[in-house]
Amino acid sequence: MRALQLQEWKSDPVMVDVPEPDPRPGQVVIRVGGAGACHSDLHLMHDFEGGLLPWGPPFTLGHENAGWVHALGDGVTGLEVGQPVAVYGPWGCGTCARCRLGAENYCENPAEAPVPSGGGGLGLDGGMAEYMLIPDARFLVPLPEGLDPVLAAPLTDAGLTPYHAVRRSWSKLPPGATAVVIGTGGLGHLAVQILKATTAATVIAVDTRTEALDHALRNGADHAVTSDDGAAASIRDITGGRGADVILDFVGVDATLAMAAAAARTVGDVTIVGIGGGTLPLSFFSVPYEVSLQTTYWGTRPELIEVLNLAARGLLRPDTVQFPLDQATDAYHQMENGQLTGRAVVVP
C-alpha cells in the first residue's frame, strides 16, 4: 500500500510502498477514512533533530485519524469489521495511574508505551496511508451515529487539544467572564466553537489575518482584535479594563505570550497551546496577581468521546479542505505558506 513517510529529520516526506499491516492479538487494523495534516508535523519535518525526542523516523505521518475497522486481532472484543471509529492519538503504557484514567497524553511510564511519548504518526506509523495498525483496541473510540470519519479525523487533535484546554478552565468561565483565543486557525477556530458551545463567556478572537478574524466571527466569536502592539489594550477596553479571565494562546511566540500576560485578569488563566518556541519571564510582578500559567498537551480519551458527541450534535464542526493521498505534500506546503483556512484532511 502507499504511505506518506518522514524518513529522516529535517526533510520533506515521501510517498513509499509499504506492506499492508496485519493485526496481532489485541491489535486492530483500520481502513483510513481521513488523516488530518497538523502544523506540528512541520516541526517534525523542519525543526527537530536526532536525540531531541525518544523516537524518530522513519514512520508514516498522520496523528489525527479516523476510519473503519478493517481487521481484528485475536482477543479483540467490542468492535466489528466495518464499524466507524476515531483513533485516540496519545499512546501510553495503559497501566500507570494517568493511563488508567484515560489520560494517556500524560503517561507516567512512557518506556512501556508502544513508542516512548509518541503514537501513530509520532514515531509509529500513522494514518497517511490506506490502512493503519492500532497496537491496542483501547485506542479506538466508536463514532457517534451520523459522524463521518473525514469530519471526525481532525477532531482527534485539532478538536481534542483546545477542548482539553478550555475544559480545565470551565470554573473561570461563568456568565460575565471573557475568554480570548489567540490564533484562530486550525485549532483556534475550533476553540472558538468549543467556548461558545460549553460556556457562557464572551469570546474575543485575536489574529494577524483579517480573513481568520472574519472566520472566527462566523464561528461565534463576539469580538475580533488584530494581533499587534495594541491588542492587549483593545482586550482591556472590551472588558472594561479588567482583562480576560482565560486566555488561550495557540501561537506561543514571544509576542503573543507577552500580549496574554498584559491582557490577563487577576486570578485568570493563561494557557499556552501553540509550540511557537516563545518564552515568558515569570516573577512576582510580571503578571497580574494569581494568574496561572500552564501548558497543555492533547487531551484524554473520555474528553475525545465528549468532543465527538459535540460534533455529532452539530455544535462543533471543523472547516476542512480535503486532499487525496497523492497530494498530501501539497497540504503541508499550503499550510506552511499560510494558504489554508481551517484544517487539511488527507483522504486515502
Q: Outline where DSSP puts E strands in the chain.
A: 2-6, 14-17, 28-37, 59-60, 64-72, 84-87, 119-120, 123-124, 131-134, 140-142, 178-182, 202-207, 223-226, 244-249, 264-272, 292-295, 320-324, 343-347
The residue to which cell 478538536 is assigned? 159
The DSSP result for 193-207, as a single string, is HHHHHH---EEEEEE
Report the CATH number of the 2-157+299-347 domain: 3.90.180.10
> Quick check: do 2-157+299-347 and 162-295 share a fold?
no
Per-residue pLDDT of the chain in tens (348 residues, 90 and over written 9): 999 999 999 999 999 999 999 999 999 999 999 999 998 898 889 888 787 778 889 999 999 999 999 999 999 999 999 999 999 999 999 999 999 999 999 999 988 887 666 899 999 999 999 999 999 999 999 999 999 999 999 999 999 999 999 999 999 999 999 999 999 988 999 999 999 999 999 999 999 999 999 999 999 999 999 999 999 999 999 999 999 999 999 999 999 999 999 999 999 999 999 988 999 999 999 999 999 999 999 999 999 999 999 999 999 999 999 999 999 999 999 988 888 777 899 999
| Residues 6 or more apart in contact with residue 8 via CB below 8 angstroms | 57, 58
Q: What is the pTM of this model?
A: 0.95
User: For the chain, first and last CA: distance in Å?
Assistant: 11
Residues 132 and 87: beta-carbon distance below 8 Å: yes
Distance CA 159, CA 171 (A): 20
What ranges do the domains of the chain cover?
2-157+299-347, 162-295
- Write the Ramachandran bin of 121: left for phi over 0, alpha for psi from -120 to 50, otherwise beta: left
On whether the 162-295 domain is CATH 3.10.450.100, my answer is no
Residues 234 and 225: beta-carbon distance below 8 Å: yes
